[in-house]
Structure 1
Amino acid sequence: MTSQRGPGRPRASSAATIHEAALELFLERGYDAVSVDDIARRAGVSRGTFFSYCDSKADALWGVLDAAIERAGDAIADGQGDALQRLVDAIARAVEPWGSTPPTALRDAQAMGAVQALRDGAPARLQPLVDRAALALALEHDALPESADAAVAPVAVVAAACAALVAWTGTAARSSAALAVRDAIEPIAAALRMRNDPHC
């Protein structure tokens, strides 16, 4: 594949087009060798348009992953009932669209040389999800969001979900992403629930 996309790609200014162009280039050249200008050129947009959708090159890497994190956060905020179960359900539903095929950013992270960029970006990108879950737990237990029970449980569940997705991505015969996540985090949520309420 050449570094310049031919006239077949329509000029567009969507985040999805920028994300797709970035992943193509990361696979071709490696994450570190690609610049924002390269991505903008491949996507057929100006540098200014790139920055209207992404704050950095790393943002272009995270497109599909950010969308899943946002879906999960919205589902927790909108849901009813047990907050830990809502977190489990929200994460599983958020990755359902992936089916049994990992997103390129996860599947090809090693080939793109982007593993470190994903690791570096994960804490800040996952924090809003953790915060929403902590707030839901705090409201459920009439506690402060920064209380130990409300703050620790979401971190444990989200971290386990991330580890499960990384393991799932590296498995040849894959179940669905949603099932892999549920299998990993439902027992953790159940144990945390028991710890907080021995009568449940």
Structure 2
Amino acid sequence: MAGRPRASSERMLEEAASELFLEQGYAKTTIEQITRRAGVSRNTFFNYFPGKADLLWVELDASRAVLTDALAAAPATTDPLAAVEAALATTAAALTPGRAPLALTQWEVMGIDEELKAAGLARALAHAGVVEAFLLGRGLDALTARGIALAVVGAASAAVGRWAADGPERAPLETYLQKVVHPVLSGFGIG
């Protein structure tokens, strides 16, 4: 017997965790409760997620792969800063209004304020690392690449936070990103 398809078990864990986090709060929810509700074993849980906190960030973790792929696909002749802006737009398009991370939209209900800050910062820094590596590969010096990466991801983080807070009727994320990312990149030389 092969069991459930990988995507099915992973999605079931995400849904079970979201339900439990909303029902009883993040801190009171255990991995055992999540696996029981999802109908999978504890071992299955750890096949998909290193820990409970990772369930809060599924969409943002997936966006890092989209960003990486979009930057890798940028033609070598494209201005590196324009490539970063285009890659962020591609990444934003993958986060549809209905897929805003619950950690950003329901953090008060779930009681995850400190968890949100720590885990969110780690994810933002991982995204910045992707941008920095791309810029270094395009010949920018280390300080400039790091500065641009942190500035643009900081702006993007502000956009994502506002987008999530604006509720179900929010505009597409690209609209928010355009408002803050382009001015930051303009300061570094993109026209």
TM-score by length of 1: 0.81
Runs of 5+ unmatched residues, structure 2 = none
Residues of 1 paired with 2:130 and 2:164: CA distance?
26
Per the alignment, residue 176 of structure 2 pairs with: 180
Residues of 1 paired with 2:140 and 2:95: CA distance?
36
Residues of 2 paired with 1:12 and 1:25: CA distance?
23
Residues of 2 paired with 1:168 and 1:148: CA distance?
30
Residues of 2 paired with 1:180 and 1:114: CA distance?
24
Per the alignment, residue 123 of structure 1 pairs with: 121
Q: Given residue 92 of structure 2, which amino acid in structure 1 is its aligned partner?
A: V
Residues of 2 paired with 1:24 and 1:93: CA distance?
29
Residues of 2 paired with 1:96 and 1:139: CA distance?
25
| Structure 1 residue 150: Cα displacement | 0.9
Based on CA coordinates, which of the two structures has the bigger radius of gyration? 1
| Structure 1 residue 182: Cα displacement | 1.9
Residue 135 of structure 2: which of 125, 128, 137 is its match?
137
Answer yes or no: is the 8 Å Cα contact 2:124–2:157 preserved in 1: no
Q: Given residue 154 of structure 1, which amino acid in structure 2 is its aligned partner?
A: A
| Structure 1 residue 78: Cα displacement | 2.6
Q: Given residue 105 of structure 2, which amino acid in structure 1 is its aligned partner?
A: R
Identity between Structure 1 and Structure 2 (%): 32
Per the alignment, residue 101 of structure 2 pairs with: 103
Per the alignment, residue 167 of structure 1 pairs with: 162
Per the alignment, residue 7 of structure 1 pairs with: none
Residues of 1 paired with 2:19 and 2:121: CA distance?
25
Change (3 A) 1:178 1:41: same
Residues of 1 paired with 2:34 and 2:133: CA distance?
38
120-129 vs 158-167, greater mean Cα deviation: 120-129
What pairs up with 1:25-104 in 2 under 5 angstroms?
25-80=20-75, 81-101=78-98, 102-104=100-102
| Structure 1 residue 140: Cα displacement | 2.5
| Structure 1 residue 137: Cα displacement | 1.7
TM-score by length of 2: 0.85
Q: Given residue 85 of structure 2, which amino acid in structure 1 is its aligned partner?
A: V
Aligned alpha-carbon RMSD (Å)? 2.2
| Structure 1 residue 79: Cα displacement | 1.7
Per the alignment, residue 151 of structure 2 pairs with: 156
Stretches (4+) displaced over 4 A: none
| Structure 1 residue 95: Cα displacement | 2.5
> How many matched pairs?
183
Say which SS state the counterpart of residue 185 (structure 1) adopts.
Answer: helix
Change (3 A) 1:78 1:137: same
What pairs up with 1:184-199 in 2 under 5 angstroms?
184-193=180-189
56-65 vs 131-140, greater mean Cα deviation: 131-140
**TM-superposition CA deviations, 1:122-157 (whole Å, max 9, x none):** 2332333322221222232353xxx21011101110
